[in-house]
Structure 1
């Protein structure tokens, strides 16, 4: 265990310069993506996260109900939705430049609407929820995997693994305006140099699923298009 910890620290020292270069590249890509979105919503309704369980055995492929994107399914521990809901709410309040309807309020309305008409699709129910709240855009998150680590902070038999996505849909035509996803199983630092900044910020250790999920929300929202102080939306 001591040897593994020393290896983590040594690897961090060797690739600091590489991480700085990668950070610049990531920022440029995010800014370019936001430039492509000219439409700005007047109000954004944020849905609670929805879990997508594997229909058979963990490890099978599942699809995002709104975009059709595929992910490897897996264990989704109890409370995963709450962890991601709270992380998303916290981060969005800090960065979002348009008025928001929080997930708690949106979830109550969705619960009243969903399932009333069995012929309605999830997309229709989501759009109807946003309309009732006076929002012209709605953000929906789906959880595909939220597996807890097996072990401790410095020694694991199985690392945490999290996969989820976020989609913003325009209500008027039900079109997807923006989407991004997080799909990561933690690896040792020596095998995962691209995430060096994550280790430097949160520590050279094995994260819990809750910690990895919160990091994922922050990472996904780096490309969120309607940010405070962004010249493209203000």
Structure 2
């Protein structure tokens, strides 16, 4: 049974390549993962109700020889049922919309380059590399080092075409647009090494536009900045 289950899931898992969206390593990522699990849970409840009712009706109203001459009652409508299947979806949508709007609004990238809090990191995208600028003005290509437990404000821009900054374990995708700077916060990243990539097709070498994010301790981060001087 397990063998056939694994074989059946292979087409769904083929494109995952170690992406850890649901195993978030930051507060920002955890909030996004919560929305995914929450919406999945609601939809599974709806799916279960549909399948249970479907199975019940198939069994109850299946063909029987003794019912060959049975004429069902002509029902014009049922107000209670009609109100139920109209009101319940509205309630479910409201329940889903409240946390979705709240988290999405809180995490939406800002068009202003001014950040309310946190340390500032510059992120410049171009074909086909990423350049990261630390608070002390030093830059490094395709490697981003962050201190754990901080609120990091990314200042994202593009030098040529639209790119998309994405570190699956830490945060969602943020587009970088030529001629426009946006800010995005990653809250409380946890110590570890994570893969990042461009999530927007940007040219013939798009697949090579990857980078590494290392989240280190506060002490190690200060040492890292000193070494860059």
* TM-score, normalised relative to structure 2: 0.21
* TM-score, normalised relative to structure 1: 0.21
Q: Kindly indicate whether structure 1 or structure 2 has the higher relative contact order, using CA contacts under 8 Å at least 6 residues apart.
A: 1
| Larger radius of gyration between Structure 1 and Structure 2 | 2
